[in-house]
Amino acid sequence: DVKVTQSSRYLVKRTGEKVFLECVQDMDHENMFWYRQDPGLGLRLIYFSYDVKMKEKGDIPEGYSVSREKKERFSLILESASTNQTSMYLCASSPTGGTGELFFGEGSRLTVL
Amino acid sequence: QKEVEQNSGPLSVPEGAIASLNCTYSDRGSQSFFWYRQYSGKSPELIMFIYSNGDKEDGRFTAQLNKASQYVSLLIRDSQPSDSATYLCAVYTGFQKLVFGTGTRLLVSP
């Protein structure tokens, strides 16, 4: 069974803290994505990566960075968390040349106080 | 104009009825279209995809695509309370990227 695993389901952090959200997939997919989901705004793409050490900005990259040192792992980093980054964060992966289907992790709900 | 638009709902239908969910998109060059279902507190899961104009059926679900009108819909026949969820329309815009609508919440009452 395909699996995308996000390291933390729920996190509570304070303003200014550095936050790491990690995602691991076991499907040997080339492409990995980080989305955030907010009520009324839907899923918005933060960053994506189509290969190890490669990254591309999505629609809302400000305040975020990413790291992909290994094919199976894609990390989202909030250098200095702010309250407007309180959200549900979803990691996803897909194979190159596939149908475009994304396989999602269970999500990480981040609250920044 | 948003790239992918959906009515947020909720769309309420009685059990056994047909639920019709609609989506419009702005990029005329889009080639692939997806419907994801998302239960409350869960992550999205793919239920249908369609590439060609016309209808595509899978069990109780039918996806309909009209590229000339830039319109894609999802029909759910014999709706069940377990179908109550948010349905996300997604459009493949190229370079491995999907753009999502904000979703339509469906409520199926027993």
pLDDT tens-place string over residues A26-40 = 999 999 999 999 988
Contact present, A19 and A77 (Cβ < 8 Å): yes
Tokens at A51, concatenated: 């290969």
Q: Does A32 touch chain B (CB under 8 A)?
A: no
Looking at CA atoms only, how far is residue B91 from chain A in angstroms?
A: 9
Residue A94 has pLDDT above 70, yes or no: yes
Q: Does A31 touch chain B (CB under 8 A)?
A: yes
Residue B8 has pLDDT above 90, yes or no: no
Confidence of residue B93 (pLDDT cuts 50, 70, 90): confident
Residues B79-85: contacts with CB within 8 Å, 24+ apart?
A: B79/B13, B79/B14, B79/B15, B79/B16, B79/B17, B79/B18, B79/B19, B79/B106, B79/B108, B80/B15, B80/B108, B81/B15, B81/B108, B81/B109, B81/B110, B82/B108, B83/B19, B83/B108, B84/B108, B85/B37, B85/B38, B85/B39, B85/B40
Most B CBs within 10 Å: which of A34, A54, A101, A108, as the mutation test of the B interface?
Answer: A101
Q: Which residue has the tokens 């289907």?
A: A101
Residue B45 has pLDDT above 80, yes or no: yes
Three-class SS state of B29:
coil
Residue A65 has pLDDT above 90, yes or no: yes
Looking at CA atoms only, how far is residue B69 from chain A in angstroms?
A: 22
Residue B63 makes CB contacts below 8 A (sequence gap 6+) with B33, B35, B48, B49, B50, B55, B56, B72, B73, B74, B75
Q: What is the mean pLDDT of residues A53-70?
A: 94
Give one DSSP letter per residue of A48-73, joined into a string. EESSTT--EE-S--TT-EEEEEETTE
pLDDT at B97: 78
Q: What is the mean pLDDT of residues B82-106?
A: 90
Residue B1 has pLDDT above 60, yes or no: no
Q: What is the mean pLDDT of residues B69-97?
A: 92
pLDDT at A97: 74
Q: What is the mean pLDDT of residues A64-80?
A: 96
Confidence of residue A1 (pLDDT cuts 50, 70, 90): low
State phi, psi for A80 to the nearest 5 degrees. Answer: -145, 95
Whether the ω angle into residue B44 lies within 30 degrees of 0, i.e. cis, is no
pLDDT at B6: 94
With CB atoms and an 8 Å threshold, state whether B96 touches A96.
yes
Contact present, A34 and A76 (Cβ < 8 Å): yes
Most B CBs within 10 Å: which of A31, A37, A43, A44, as the mutation test of the B interface?
Answer: A43
Tokens at B48, concatenated: 């249908």
Confidence of residue B30 (pLDDT cuts 50, 70, 90): confident
Confidence of residue B15 (pLDDT cuts 50, 70, 90): very high
